[in-house]
Every structure is written in structure tokens, then in C-alpha cells.
Amino acid sequence: MALGFPPHVIGLQVNGDVGPLTFYQDRFGREVSYPKAPPKVPRTAGQLHQQHRWTLAMQAWNALPMIDRELYQYYALASGIPMIGQNVWIRLCLSPTTQLWETLCRQSHLPLHFPARL
């Protein structure tokens, strides 16, 4: 059974899973929530591989010195993309393209090292 959940209680519009609940907005603009359902099938090998790559990217981010993390944050802000530095790092780790990296370096005017492909 779906439970009505007014958006002003949360303070923002929420869609997707948050904790033990799933939220969505119905066609009348009402916020609806219901208990999150567990997946019916186990994860595929591809999903497990992507999860492992994501974990490696996060570990690499956490291993960066604070100065490099701050540079990536400035890098994201200076280039004008709607991402934080951590998102830029993970994006470049998971699907590194030199064209994207060169464009972002040119836009931000910051020389940063290219993360290793995971």
C-alpha cells in the first residue's frame, strides 16, 4: 500500500530510494512513498564488476591527498560543469577519455593528473 508523504515534510523533492522507503511523484504532483522492495534476482556478473570498479574509484579518491581533492573541487567549479570534484574523479576513473580531460583542463585552466583506468 502506498503512503502519501508531503514534500514539505522532507523540505525537497525526493525520487528514488531513501533508506527503507521508495519515493516518487504521481501524475497529480503528490509525493508518494512505500517500503522498498528487495530485488527479486541476484546481481549479475556485470553489475558486480561495475560495483567493484566503483569501489576502486572511491578508494582511489579517498587515498588522494587533501590538496588534490581540493584541486579537483576547484577544477569542477572552474570548468562550470554541474558536478563536484569527487564526481569528476569517479567519472574519469570509470570511463577515462583524454578528450574530456583535456577539455576540462582547458576550461578550468588547472593542470591536474589523469586518474588511472580502473
* Cα atoms found within 13 Å of the Cα of residue 46, Cβ hemisphere only: 0
Q: For residue 108, give the amino acid letter.
A: S
Other beta carbons within 10 Å of 54: 14
Q: Which H helix or E strand runs over 34?
A: strand 31-35
Q: CA-based Rg of the chain, rounded to a whole angstrom?
A: 19
Q: Which H helix or E strand runs over 3?
A: strand 3-4
pTM greater than the 0.95 cutoff = no
Domain range annotation of the chain = 3-35, 45-108
pLDDT in tens, 1-50: 444 545 445 456 667 788 888 888 877 778 888 888 877 787 899 989 99
